[in-house]
């Protein structure tokens, strides 16, 4: 049942702060059959990701990236997956950003995908490293020109006086590269998260969800284990 319908009779005279505990959907799915799962979580992720794409979910490559400082202070934000292969999961950013500073100081990180329309979630933990510059160059050259220019104009995560200052910086960069290709800034590039743990979660009725955890072993094979919801 849609939670808006379920609480529609309770809204009058109450704030959403009072009602948020009543937001509830029942998750109905066929569950995860362990024998159907791939031996490698990257291959299994591809199946689930293709399902999200084929169902035309909005931004199926949106993922939550969690980082932490060396002393354990966490931060999170949503970024976009821009590739995945046997190495892991790739995303791009400004190397001067907060997330990059934290990754350079502590390269343990996690990713979370949530495809709520499918009642599916994937959680990934591992170590992050920079991808080769030639690979970053190739991706940067494929970006829309406006995105290329904004990568030069934005000093990501740094204070800015106002929006107008950003727009003037964009105009200056546009003039600088007028009539010629926009090269990749040296402080902009990609990261790859190499997974050591990957958990596939599927919502089921009565909150008795399915959770299957893959863990990387010393010999580079993967084990699978069912977890309690």
Q: With CA atoms as reference, report the closest residue to 24 among 227, 206, 181.
A: 206
pLDDT at 156 over 90: no
| pLDDT at res. 1 | 45
Mean of the per-residue pLDDT values of the chain: 92
Q: For the segment 93-103, what is each residue's pLDDT rounded down to a tens digit?
A: 999 999 999 99
| pLDDT at res. 36 | 93
Q: Are 151 and 185 in contact (CB under 8 A)?
A: yes
| pLDDT at res. 160 | 82
Q: For the segment 128-137, what is each residue's pLDDT rounded down to a tens digit?
A: 999 999 999 9
Name the pLDDT band for 62 (thresholds 50, 70, 90). Answer: very high
- Active-site residues, by number, are 207
Q: Using the structure block, give the residue that is written with the tokens 């509830």.
A: 24
Name the pLDDT band for 9 (thresholds 50, 70, 90). Answer: low
pLDDT at 82 over 60: yes
* Rounded alpha-carbon distances, angstroms, from residue 96 to 157, 176, 181, 188, 190: 8, 22, 23, 8, 12
> CA angle at residue 116 from 14 to 12, to 5 degrees?
10
Q: For the segment 11-51, what is each residue's pLDDT rounded down to a tens digit?
A: 565 777 878 888 878 888 888 989 999 999 999 999 999 99
Count the neighbouring beta carbons within 10 Å of the beta carbon of residue 171.
12
| pLDDT at res. 155 | 83
Q: How much is the pTM?
A: 0.89
Q: Are 192 and 135 in contact (CB under 8 A)?
A: no
% of residues, the chain, pLDDT over 70 = 94
% of residues, the chain, pLDDT over 90 = 79
* Rounded alpha-carbon distances, angstroms, from residue 169 to 151, 183, 213: 11, 17, 47
d(CA 168, CA 228): 54
Q: What is the mean pLDDT of residues 160-167?
A: 90
């Amino acid at each position: 049942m849609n939670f808006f319908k379920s609480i529609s009779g309770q809204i009058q005279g109450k704030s959403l702060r009072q009602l948020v505990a009543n937001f509830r959907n029942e998750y109905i799915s066929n569950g995860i059959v362990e024998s159907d799962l791939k031996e490698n979580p990257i291959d299994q992720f591809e199946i689930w990701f293709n399902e999200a794409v084929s169902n035309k979910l909005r931004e199926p490559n949106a993922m939550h990236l969690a980082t932490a400082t060396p002393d354990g202070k966490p931060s999170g934000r949503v970024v976009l997956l821009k590739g995945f292969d046997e190495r892991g999961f790739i995303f791009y950013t400004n190397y001067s950003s907060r997330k990059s500073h934290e990754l350079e100081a502590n390269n343990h990180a996690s990713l979370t995908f949530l495809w709520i329309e499918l009642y599916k979630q994937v959680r990934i933990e591992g170590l992050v490293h920079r991808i080769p510059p030639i690979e970053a160059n190739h991706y940067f050259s494929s970006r829309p020109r406006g995105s290329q220019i904004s990568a030069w104009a934005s000093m990501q995560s740094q204070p800015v006086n106002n929006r107008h200052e950003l727009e003037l910086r964009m105009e200056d960069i546009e003039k600088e590269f007028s009539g010629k290709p926009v090269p990749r800034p040296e402080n902009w590039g990609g990261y790859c998260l190499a997974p050591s743990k990957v958990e596939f979660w599927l919502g089921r009725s009565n909150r008795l969800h399915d959770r299957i955890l893959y863990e990387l072993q010393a010999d580079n094979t993967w084990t699978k284990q069912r977890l309690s919801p």
